[in-house]
């Protein structure tokens, strides 16, 4: 039995009840086979056993008082997965579905994603089963302050730098930053995604979505395809989806559908992004309200966004939102490219279906790395007490995405899997971290 298979069998045995983590680890480790075979030092140094075991996992009680005076208790998490190439870095997910295994899969993905950016950031992730949806600002603040009252002792600008993710946006980061400052008396870049008047970076809000489309554009150009004029379907309507839509439209594509967890809208004439932004960013409402402003558009309750014919699909909602059946429907409808804005939105079966049929496929850990990369740029600005212009940050982001594409494509080719960016991204992300771990000894 191969080294990879032995490690995977042990992982499955040891991590009962963490299917998403097992899925992420299976995808990564399986695609590393060629590099593991060619480099016996990885097995000799037990790199796969070490890289799949978090350096530290924190789980804590988060009590807070709701608007009716009742005490609520949530569970907080922070997983400091790997610090071989830099301080732990990764977002905080606030969603009722969050469990230890969810944060573990996200933290594991983050190791390779952060490595791919070429910047000095290790892998970490955190969050809670708290649901900000429907809560008042005061309730969100009470939760965030309580969450930080435990988390503050474990993080720091050169130790661990959390950020946003699903459910954590500028409002939540602001409350958490205020509490960190109060508890430590330190004004430092301990969180990214901050407001612009207290240390945030220009273009951070747009970064994940813009970066996704920069990556997509690079991948298409490499195959002599122009994004202009293409029909695009984007799942989700959060931060990633909104700015992916904006950049795709700027580059001349026609975005015809977006969604939220209730249903999806289809606007044949092209999505009017200002309406989506108002509903989602200002009113914190539901996507179905779009049709009130645009009666020719159609709202459909439930899943099903992938039945809409398109040239390019950008899953930007959440993990495992696109399964094998969805993939087959997209393929039958003639999809050319799929680029993942969310973390692990396609199941392994869906990914394999795309790759087998020659659909250009950009995995999340490469294609959505623009967000965390720009977070690292925010850390640089905070450390040097400067603020760069939008153009400067956006220019660096664009270059980073081009490099990630180039490195992933080259690694895929070098190890005999030309055009398979899943293999390429995993290998390119892995080698840098693994070599740093070997250099730093058994730790
Ligand atoms: N949550 C984002 C991600 O999945 C951003 C993390 C960050 O900026 O640290 O990469």
Q: State the pLDDT at residue 289.
A: 98
Final residue of a domain: which of 298, 332, 362? 362
Co-location of 98 and 182 in the same domain: yes
Q: Domains in the chain: how many in total? A: 2
Co-location of 274 and 337 in the same domain: yes
Q: Is residue 152 part of a domain?
A: yes
β-strand pairing of 254-259 with 88-94: unpaired
Q: Is residue 339 part of a domain?
A: yes
- Residue of 409, 105, 31, 362 lying closest to 217 (CA atoms): 362
Co-location of 145 and 268 in the same domain: no
**CA 369 to ligand 1: nearest atom:** 10
Contact 104, 18 (CB under 8 A): yes
Q: Which residues of the chain have pLDDT under 70?
A: none
Q: Is residue 199 part of a domain?
A: no
Contact 124, 78 (CB under 8 A): yes
Co-location of 262 and 318 in the same domain: yes
Residues of the domain holding 318 = 205-362
Co-location of 176 and 210 in the same domain: no
Co-location of 278 and 224 in the same domain: yes
Q: Is residue 442 part of a domain?
A: no
User: Which CATH number fits the domain that encloses residue 313?
Assistant: 3.40.50.720
Co-location of 114 and 14 in the same domain: yes
Give the E-state strand segments of 332-432 in sequence order: 337-339, 360-362
Give the E-state strand segments of 260-364 in sequence order: 263-266, 298-301, 312-315, 337-339, 360-362
Co-location of 108 and 170 in the same domain: yes
Co-location of 182 and 281 in the same domain: no
Does the annotation count 280 as an active-site position?
no
Q: State the pLDDT at residue 56.
A: 98
Contact 202, 388 (CB under 8 A): yes
Final residue of a domain: which of 187, 219, 252? 187
Contact 272, 294 (CB under 8 A): yes
DSSP letter string over 176-236? HHHHHHHHH---S--SSS--GGGT--TTHHHHHHHHHHHHHHHHHHHTT---TT-EEEEE-
User: Which CATH number fits the domain that encloses residue 149?
Assistant: 3.40.50.10860
Q: Is residue 376 part of a domain?
A: no
Q: Is residue 427 part of a domain?
A: no
- Which backbone phi and psi does 173 adopt, to 5 degrees? -60, -40
Co-location of 150 and 274 in the same domain: no
Q: Is residue 374 part of a domain?
A: no
Ligand 1-lining residues (CB < 6 angstroms): 89-91, 163-165, 192, 343, 371-372, 375
Residue 364: beta bridge partners? Answer: none
- Residue of 162, 341, 325, 368 lying closest to 237 (CA atoms): 341
Instruction: Please give the distance, rounded to the nearest whole angstrom, from the Cα atom of residue 292 to the centre of ligand 1.
Output: 33
Q: What percent of the chain has pLDDT over 70?
A: 100
Beta carbons within 8 Å of 353's beta carbon, 6+ residues apart: 324, 327, 328, 331
Question: Structure pTM?
Answer: 0.97
Instruction: Please give the distance, rounded to the nearest whole angstrom, from the Cα atom of residue 272 to the centre of ligand 1.
Output: 27
Q: Is residue 429 part of a domain?
A: no
89, 104, 113, 125: the active-site residue = 125
Co-location of 221 and 144 in the same domain: no
Final residue of a domain: which of 312, 333, 362? 362
Q: State the pLDDT at residue 70.
A: 98
Contact 347, 323 (CB under 8 A): yes
Mutate to test the pocket of ligand 1, among 94, 116, 163, 374 (most ligand atoms within 8 A of CB): 163
DSSP letter string over 52-96? TS-SEEEEEEEEEE-TTS-EEEEEEEEEEEE-SSSSEEEEEEE-T
Q: State the pLDDT at residue 356.
A: 97
Co-location of 108 and 210 in the same domain: no
Angle between helices 421-439 and 100-116 (to 10 degrees): 90
């Amino acid at each position: 039995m191969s080294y990879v298979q032995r490690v995977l069998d042990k992982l499955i045995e040891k991590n009962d009840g963490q299917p998403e983590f097992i899925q992420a680890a299976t995808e990564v480790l399986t695609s590393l086979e060629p590099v593991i075979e060619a480099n016996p030092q990885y097995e000799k140094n037990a790199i796969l056993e070490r890289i799949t075991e978090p350096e530290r996992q924190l789980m804590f009680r988060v009590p807070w008082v709701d608007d009716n005076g009742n005490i609520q208790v949530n569970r907080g998490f922070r997983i400091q997965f790997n610090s071989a190439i830099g301080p732990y870095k990764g977002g905080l997910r606030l969603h009722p579905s969050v469990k230890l295994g969810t944060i573990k899969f996200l933290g594991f993905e983050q190791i390779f994603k952060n490595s791919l950016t070429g910047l000095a950031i290790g892998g970490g992730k955190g969050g809670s089963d708290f649901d900000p949806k429907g809560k008042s600002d005061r309730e969100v603040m009470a939760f965030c302050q309580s969450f930080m009252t435990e988390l503050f002792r474990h993080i720091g600008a050169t130790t661990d730098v959390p950020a946003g993710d699903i459910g954590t946006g500028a409002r939540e980061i602001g409350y958490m930053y205020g509490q960190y400052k109060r508890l430590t008396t330190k004004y430092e870049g301990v969180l990214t995604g901050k407001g612009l008047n207290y240390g945030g970076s220009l273009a951070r809000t747009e970064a994940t979505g813009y970066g996704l489309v920069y990556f997509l554009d690079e991948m298409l150009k490499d195959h002599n395809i122009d994004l202009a004029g293409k029909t695009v379907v984007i799942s989700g309507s959060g931060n990633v989806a909104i700015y992916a839509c904006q950049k795709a439209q700027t580059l001349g594509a026609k975005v015809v559908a977006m969604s939220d967890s209730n249903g999806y809208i289809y606007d044949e004439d092209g999505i009017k992004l200002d309406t989506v932004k108002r509903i989602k960013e200002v009113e914190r409402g539901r996507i179905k309200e779009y049709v009130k402003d645009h009666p020719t558009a159609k709202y459909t309750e439930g899943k099903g966004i992938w039945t809409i014919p398109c040239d390019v699909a950008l899953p930007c909602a959440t993990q495992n939102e696109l399964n094998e059946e969805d993939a087959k429907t997209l393929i039958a409808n003639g999809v050319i490219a799929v680029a993942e804005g969310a973390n692990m939105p396609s199941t392994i079966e869906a990914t394999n279906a795309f790759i087998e049929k020659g659909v250009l496929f950009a995995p999340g850990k490469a294609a959505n790395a623009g967000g965390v990369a720009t977070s690292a740029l925010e850390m640089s600005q905070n450390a040097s007490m400067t603020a760069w212009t939008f153009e400067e940050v956006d220019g660096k982001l664009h270059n980073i995405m081009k490099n990630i594409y180039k490195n992933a494509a080259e690694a895929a080719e070098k190890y005999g899997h030309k055009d398979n960016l899943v293999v390429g991204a995993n290998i390119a992300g892995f080698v840098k971290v693994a070599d740093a771990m070997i250099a730093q000894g058994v730790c």
